[in-house]
């Protein structure tokens, strides 16, 4: 009984917005305000502070690990000289083998 009384009320509320012929944006999966040729709405101070904190944490992590574990970049062992490798180590068959 409640549903039969609410459906006509909801139709009168929802239909005027559906009758508009001009749609400038799709509201699906978006919480941002739609803008065209204007500056977007600035984020709140809380969002800005959180973003700066996360980026500072990320850069601290990267720079700290570059200073303390530079072997990730330079390598843990000295690079071998390829000219000292033998043909056998490289998997090259001997010249007299047919």
pLDDT top residue among 24 and 89: 89
pLDDT value of residue 80: 85
Q: Are 72 and 65 in contact (CB under 8 A)?
A: yes
pLDDT value of residue 76: 81
* Per-residue pLDDT tens over the stretch 22-50: 656 566 666 667 778 888 888 999 999 99
Q: How far apart are the first and last CA of the chain?
A: 94
Domains of the chain, residue spans: 43-73
**In the chain, % of residues over pLDDT 90:** 29
pLDDT value of residue 28: 65
What distance lies between CA 25 and its chain's CA centroid?
Answer: 24
Query: Has residue 95 got a pLDDT over 80?
Result: yes
């Amino acid at each position: 009984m409640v549903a039969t009384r609410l459906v006509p009320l909801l139709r009168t509320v929802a239909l005027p917005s559906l009758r508009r012929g001009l749609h400038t944006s799709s509201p699906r999966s978006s919480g941002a305000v739609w803008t065209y040729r204007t500056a977007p709405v600035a984020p709140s101070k809380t969002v800005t502070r959180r973003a700066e904190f996360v980026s500072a944490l990320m850069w601290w992590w990267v720079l700290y690990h570059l200073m303390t574990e530079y072997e990730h970049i330079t390598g843990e062992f000295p690079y071998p000289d390829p000219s000292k490798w033998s043909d056998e180590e490289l998997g090259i068959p001997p010249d007299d083998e047919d």
